[in-house]
Amino acid sequence: MRMLGIDYGTKKIGLALSDERGRFASPYSVIATNQKTLKTVVAICHQEEITKIVIGKSLNYEGTPNAVQAEAEKFAKTLGEATGLPIAFELEVLTTKEAERDIGRDELTDARAAALILKSYIDRQQNDGNK
């Protein structure tokens, strides 16, 4: 079960991949948000044999969806239709800031944020399965 993690942004999208067993998450790449984004992500899903997509759920400090989340949900719907893959949302809180903490901001910051989102989802699924 190989999963793709997505940190959706209006300018850039961070991507992360799990290992084949769906236990670990690693940064993969950062792509621009533009008219080619959907085609690029669909191609990655096919190339990497993705079986599930996890997208960060972005909320404001009051706990309600922010403007980025509305765009992420539109993208998720279109991506789900294009790939036929199941899509899950995982709550993200300051993942980009956490990704910047040790190394600072660089070209893979958003991919590291996507890996944090994906790892959170993986851990939550494993913990729910152990109950």
Tell me the β-bridge partners of 89: 55
pLDDT top residue among 97 and 116:
116
Query: Residue 27: beta bridge partners?
Result: 16
Q: What is the pLDDT of residues 14-67, one digit of tens each?
A: 999 999 999 999 999 999 999 999 999 999 999 999 999 999 998 877 888 888
CATH of the domain at 73: 3.30.420.140
pLDDT at 106 over 80: no
Number of domains present in the structure of the chain: 1
Give the pair of three-digit tokens for residue 68: 């980025």
Which of 61-71 are b and which e, b meaning 16 or more Cβ less than 10 Å from the residue's Cβ? eeeeeeeebee
Task: Give the domain range for residue 99.
Answer: 3-129
End-to-end CA distance of the chain: 21
Of residues 96 and 88, more confidence is placed in 88
Beta bridge partners of residue 7, listed in sequence order = 14
Is 90 exceeded by the pLDDT of residue 74? yes
